[in-house]
A = this chain, B = another copy of it.
Amino acid sequence: MKQARHMAIKEVLTRVNVGSQEDLLKLLKKAGFDVTQATLSRDLKDLGVGRVNTADGVRYVLQTEAEEQKLRAFLGYEIEGIDSNESVIVVKTLPGRAQGVAGIIDGLHHPLVLGTIAGDNTIFVTPKSVKKIPDLIKVIRSLMSEQRNPIHTSSLH
């Protein structure tokens, strides 16, 4: 049970802007996990989640999310531009970084990515379908920014 609940907590924290353990409790209850605040306090410690003071109140964040953002910033620096024609997406990178960036794109195991091939500062990304090129460009672009669309919990109060 605990393990599944931990998964659920991670899931929730990535999708929702959680500002207190009480909020989290309500959200988990909706997902079928009925526990007390005490247990959540322990879970959050186990998962190593952090509490951040943002402009509009506190927010609980996964420690892994910080890592992810690090990666995003990193890629944003290395990727010079993204372009495409009717059949392939071309990603321009800093010199010598194409292999590395392509590796990261591969590592996504994203369903829209058929495959990549990298030279020195250029990557060709082949989409699953040429119709999906605009979508896939968005995916790659999202690697660069840390844009996200959190749901707020104000409706719970």
Binding site for B on A (CB under 8 A): 44-45, 47-54, 61, 63, 66, 69-70, 73-74, 77, 94-97, 120
Contacts and interface: CB of A to CB of B under 8 A. Distances in A.
A50 B61 CA distance: 10
Contact of A74 (B52, B66, B70): B70
Nearest to A51: B51
9 contacts: A44-B53, A45-B53, A48-B52, A49-B53, A50-B50, A66-B70, A70-B74, A74-B77, A95-B96
A21 to B, nearest CB: 12
**Complex A-B, nearest 4 residue pairs according to Cβ-Cβ distance, in ascending order:** A95-B96, A50-B52, A51-B51, A95-B95
A49 B53 CA distance: 6
Contacts of A77: 74
A13 to B, nearest CB: 13
Contacts of A48: 52-54
Contacts of A95: 94-97, 120
Nearest to A41: B53
Contact of A96 (B51, B53, B74, B94): B94
A20 to B, nearest CB: 13
Contacts of A70: 66, 69-70, 73-74
